[in-house]
């Protein structure tokens, strides 16, 4: 079950404890070890907490998410997913664009997908290899000057693997045949 969120006013009204019952209270009078009806500790939601859903397929369908109080339904916070040409951000889009339009680079990245002696790489391994390769090659910035810090390497890896599915199956079949010998 998902956590229930409450605005400060409703939280105080719902969970405020008399001083005699609980000596550890915060500035709003909320007991430090108070549990909700499901046995979860009640705690504040900080502006750095990630309460929103970041699953790529979910945010595509629901780019604007609103956190509302479970009691009064007042808006507590909101989050709007930002993308760039269908990619996580401009840096990811630009990095992928470079890997598919620069022919020599394309062939080098293609070779990172795997080989006949080890088979295809997992998505995570491929993403990590791609990240290390391009950081080294581009010294932390795309040729256009975008930082590689915000690149979603897994997103690029998933697209590359989907686009080259037949090749990866062939690599794995060759690898499995080699193991049998």
Please list the pLDDT of the chain residue by residue as tens digits (181 residues).
Answer: 456 777 878 877 876 655 444 446 666 555 566 677 777 776 666 555 556 666 666 766 777 778 888 888 888 887 776 688 888 889 999 999 999 999 999 999 999 998 877 878 889 899 999 999 999 999 999 999 999 998 989 999 999 999 999 988 888 888 888 888 7
**Mapping DSSP to helix (H, G, I), strand (E, B) and coil, where does residue 178 land?**
helix
Residue 77 belongs to what H/E stretch? strand 75-80
Our measurement of the distance from residue 11's CA atom to the centroid of its chain's CA atoms, rounded to an integer in Å, reads 30
Alpha carbon of 16 to those of 39, 71, 73, 148: distances in Å? Answer: 16, 15, 19, 47
Structure tokens at 130: 């791609």
- Contact in structure between 127 and 181 (CB atoms under 8 Å): no
């Amino acid at each position: 079950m998902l956590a229930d969120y409450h605005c400060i006013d409703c939280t105080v009204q719902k969970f405020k404890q008399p001083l005699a019952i609980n000596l550890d209270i915060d500035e709003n009078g909320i007991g430090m070890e108070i549990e909700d009806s499901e046995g979860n500790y009640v705690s504040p939601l900080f502006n750095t907490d990630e309460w929103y859903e970041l699953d790529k397929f979910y945010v595509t369908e629901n780019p604007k998410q609103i956190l509302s109080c479970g009691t009064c339904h007042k808006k507590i916070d909101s989050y709007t997913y930002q993308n760039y040409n269908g990619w996580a951000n401009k840096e990811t889009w630009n990095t992928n664009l470079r890997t598919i339009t620069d022919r020599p680079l394309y062939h080098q990245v293609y070779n990172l997908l795997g080989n006949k002696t080890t088979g295809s790489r997992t998505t995570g391994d491929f993403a990590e290899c791609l990240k290390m390769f391009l950081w080294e090659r581009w010294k932390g910035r795309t040729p256009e000057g975008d930082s590689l810090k915000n690149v979603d390497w897994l997103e690029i890896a998933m697209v590359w693997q989907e686009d080259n599915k037949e090749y990866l199956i062939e690599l794995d079949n060759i690898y499995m045949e080699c193991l049998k010998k």
